Amino acid sequence: MPQIIPIKDLKNTANISELCHSLNEPIFITKNGYGDMVLMNIDYYEAILKKWEMYADLNLSEEQIVQGKTKDAKRALQSVRDKYGL
């Protein structure tokens, strides 16, 4: 269940920091009853960022496949072997 708190509760930064570190999910901040911001601890943020980067790489790979920008695996591995004398 997502944690939702009003913006006025941000005054107590120590409690907010403790809450961010105790949860492994974002905290939604409301202003006048509407969504305004999202807070999360840095570890959770970095984990999400890694996932986004992985999905971006997968998306790029799929686009390259559609565009025909692929290489034969055997030839690619052989070129690496040749380059490094393996």
* pTM metric for this prediction: 0.68
Question: Looking at the structure, do residues 46 and 32 belong to the same domain, yes or no?
Answer: no
**What backbone phi and psi angles, to 5 degrees, belong to 25?**
-160, 165
Question: Looking at the structure, do residues 32 and 13 belong to the same domain, yes or no?
Answer: yes
34-77: pLDDT as tens digits: 999 999 999 999 999 999 999 999 999 999 999 999 888 898 89
* Res 86 pLDDT > 90: no
Q: Quote the tokens at residue 31.
A: 């202003």
Question: Looking at the structure, do residues 18 and 32 belong to the same domain, yes or no?
Answer: yes
Range of the domain at 34: 1-40
5-34: pLDDT as tens digits: 999 999 999 999 999 999 989 999 999 999
Which CATH number is 4's domain given? Answer: 3.40.1620
Question: Looking at the structure, do residues 46 and 23 belong to the same domain, yes or no?
Answer: no
Domain total of the chain:
2
DSSP letter, residue 59: H
Report the alpha-carbon distance of residue 22 to residue 41 in Å, rounded. 9
